[in-house]
Amino acid sequence: MKKVITYGTFDLLHYGHIRLLERAKALGDYLIVGVTSDEFDKARGKINVRESVYERMENVRKTGLADEIIIESYEGQKIDDIKKYDVDTFVLGSDWAGKFDYLKEYCEVVYLDRTEGISSTDLRDHTSLKLGLIGKSSNVDKVKHEAVYVDGLEALRPVSGNDAGEVDSLLSECDAVYVYSVPGKHYELVKKALNAGKHVLVESPVAETREECRELFALAKEKNLTLMEGLKTAYSTAFQRLLLLLKGGKIGRIVSVDAVCTSQKPAADEEMRWGSIADWGPTALLPVFSILGTDCREKRIVTWTEDAGSDKTAAEGDKAGQAKPAAEDEKHGQAKPVFDRYTKVDFRFDRAVASVQVGKGMKSEGELVISGTEGYAYVPAPWWKTDFFEIRYENTDENQRYFYQLEGEGIRYELVAFLQAVGGKASAVEIPENVSEAIAGIMEDYAEGRDVTKLAD
């Protein structure tokens, strides 16, 4: 019996795929089709695949052409498979001509002409989502840059968000918006976009209070639109895997979650010169609420604000953490913003504790440690750009290291997740609403001075 093997992603199975499978099958008696795993595709930079590996396998199965379907999940697997299945012929389309000649050592290698005029990429492009960008910062530029790598997404030129007319005209041109502005403006901008029937990806926090956050999610639901919190760490493969491992009991019962995020330099753009809690808070809070849930029993916030010598606490008057003029600097006659240089939040949940430390213009080790009864998870600095973590045990021989590809600081995955959520994909990674709400809640409590103590200057 002559065995033939071929590989592919087979996303949105099309005529070109079927023709290839037919011709591959005709080359022998038994056809094995290797379908790439989601993980393997991501690792080789193919992040826009619309269908899950199971959907893609099912579509291949339905063609009735494959005698056996396997998953391709690692580099170098082809040689293993050829040996394992005793393959006679390896087949791929002519777009790969020459690339797999090294397999000739193990079997016959055949490249078949690719069918002209059709590809998964083309099919994906036909459903292009026009993304309007609102905000003025290097972040917006990064999103514009990363959108180029996401099939089916077309980023429009950014508008600042300060001019209502400009925002209106952008909303009339797009299907969805990405919003990055000072948190005080999020609520109005998001509401406006949702009311205009646009899907929204908004940088954290979604709004400044729990109530506003709830209202926005309810509005999105009512209008059947996607509202998603843009927190790039949440969408990275490593962070997602870490959550799954912890849920699966990898380190036993979780006792504490401790996250630190600091940066030495404040943002260059004055408008975006937020304090630590507004800038870093959502990122640092993400693992706490994602791992321990949002039902916190007690918390204590200690903050050091730099507010031009004013005695105001975070609770008084000015919304803390924002670039809002708080007091006149008498010497220079310039307005200085309330700016928390350092804030620490301690939480007590029913069965665990947590702490977050955020700072700007100070430095500490930016690591994430999750401690459990059997071991602990360690994500080294800068943990919010997670591509690696380690599960550590008392017996260090049992330690396990996990590496995952991280493209474009995670923004690329955030955009893919958004696109999938808009497309109604159940498998799309999303930050649960209650986590978004809890994050907004901490911002609210901080601004209102609930459970807040201020350090002396």
* Burial per residue of 131-166, b for 16 or more beta-carbon CB atoms within 10 angstroms, e otherwise: bbbbbbbebbebbbebbebbbbbebbebbebeeeee
Residue range at the interface with ligand CTP (CB under 6 A); choices 3-11, 58-66, 222-230, 362-370 = 3-11
Q: What radius of gyration do the chain's Cα atoms show?
A: 25
The answer to whether 87 and 114 have CB atoms below 8 angstroms apart is no
Dihedral Cα 181, 187, 190, 192, nearest 10 deg: -120
User: Which one-letter DSSP state was computed for residue 315?
Assistant: T
Q: Does 161 bind ligand CTP (CB under 6 A)?
A: no
Nearer to ligand CTP, 119 or 436 (CB): 119
User: Can you tell me whether residue 317 is helix, strand or coil?
Assistant: coil
End-to-end CA distance of the chain: 82
Count of residues near ligand CTP by CB under 6 A: 16
Select from 28, 93, 275, 366 the one that contacts ligand CTP (CB under 6 A): 93
DSSP string computed for 69-114? EEEE-STTHHHHHHHHTT-SEEEEEGGGTTTTGGGGGTSEEEEEPP
Question: In the complex with ligand CTP, which residue's Cβ is closer, 325 or 423?
Answer: 423
| Residue 194, CA distances (Å) to 87, 217, 353, 435 in order | 55, 10, 37, 20
Q: How far apart are CA 174 and CA 192, in angstroms?
A: 13
Segment contacting ligand CTP (CB under 6 A): 90-98, 169-177, 415-423, 440-448?
90-98
Query: Which of residues 121, 128, 138, 172 is near ligand CTP by CB under 6 A?
Result: 121
Judged by CB under 6 A, which stretch of 116-124, 243-251, 291-299, 430-438 contacts ligand CTP?
116-124
Cβ pair 216, 189 in contact under 8 A: no
Tokens of 300: 């204590």
Based on CB atoms, which residue is closest to ligand CTP, 50 or 250? 50
CB of 80 to ligand CTP, least distance (A): 19
95 makes contact with ligand CTP (CB under 6 A)? yes
Q: Which of 89, 119, 236, 262 binds ligand CTP (CB under 6 A)?
A: 119
Q: Comparing C-alpha atoms, which of 120, 96, 138 is closest to residue 48?
A: 120
Q: Is 323 left (phi over 0), alpha (psi -120 to 50) or beta?
A: beta
Give the nearest distance from C-beta 145 to ligand CTP in angstroms.
21
Residue from 47, 82, 92, 143 touching ligand CTP (CB under 6 A): that is 92
Q: Pick from 3, 4, 10, 258 the residue near ligand CTP by CB under 6 A.
A: 10
Of 5, 8, 66, 446, the residue at the interface with ligand CTP (CB under 6 A) is: 8
59 binds ligand CTP (CB under 6 A): no
Rank residues 8 and 132 by Cβ distance to ligand CTP and give the closer one.
8
- Report how far residue 66's alpha carbon sits from residue 294's, in angstroms, rounded to the nearest whole number: 47
Candidate residues 118, 302, 315, 428; the one interacting with ligand CTP per rule CB under 6 A = 118
Binding site for ligand CTP (CB under 6 A): 8-11, 16-17, 20, 92-93, 95, 114-115, 118-121
